[in-house]
Amino acid sequence: MTSSRPLSRSAAGLIVAILATVVLAADQFVKYLTIEHLPLQQVVPVLGDFFQLYYVRNPGAAFSLGSGVTWIFTIALAVVAAAIVWKSFAVRSRLWAVVLGALLGGVLGNLTDRIFREPGFPVGHVVDMLSLPWMMPAIFNVADIFIVCGMIAVALLIVVGLNLDGSRETSESRKNAESTAVTDAPADAQASDAPRDTSGT
């Protein structure tokens, strides 16, 4: 069962590529504005304590964890980006194309920082600038938003049973598949399960 006509491979790939490029460009543009116009490590209130700008350079992961092994995060981002591109070749669903494109753009945004920003490849520091102090102490960026939202969307698509090709896997389809497997079992296997006459007559 499909929710809509599946996309062609080229159309799905184009959606992924366009969205990834847009997200990457938006992330890098915001980081450029941050570097050019925000003071380093100084709070700039936007909506009081609800939303603030706070420019930092993060050598590690969330909460600056792993700042001494930045190169590991570079490798991890590269592997994730490659996995998304590889999976994109199997995509025929519009929803999956949108989600993977946004997720890929976020991953590439932070990977670009790791490769090209100071102190240099492959240990560049990620530029962060967004802060929600009422909710969490971590400082994040546009790429992080798309990575988190993308991962949540991937989990939801898996839960609702939407496959990469656009087909939907439901409990009913799984039951039908199981019943078909039983029906198609070899005749000799079914015969072996039948009661046998052991009376000797």
Residues recognised as catalytic: 128, 144
Alpha-carbon gap, residue 108 to 58, rounded angstroms: 16
Neighbouring C-beta atoms of residue 127, cutoff 10 Å: 25
Alpha-carbon gap, residue 102 to 81, rounded angstroms: 11
Burial class (CB in 10 A: 0-12, 13-18, 19+), 72: middle
* SS3 label, residue 141: coil
Buried b (16+ CB within 10 A) or exposed e, 37-47: ebeeeeeeeee
Alpha-carbon gap, residue 186 to 23, rounded angstroms: 53
Among 103, 89, 116, 94, which residue's Cα sits nearest to residue 10? Answer: 89
Among all chains, which residue has been given the structure tokens 């080229």?
A: 10
- Count H helices and E strands in the chain, helices first: 6, 4
* Contacts of residue 10, Cβ cutoff 8 Å, sequence gap at least 6: none
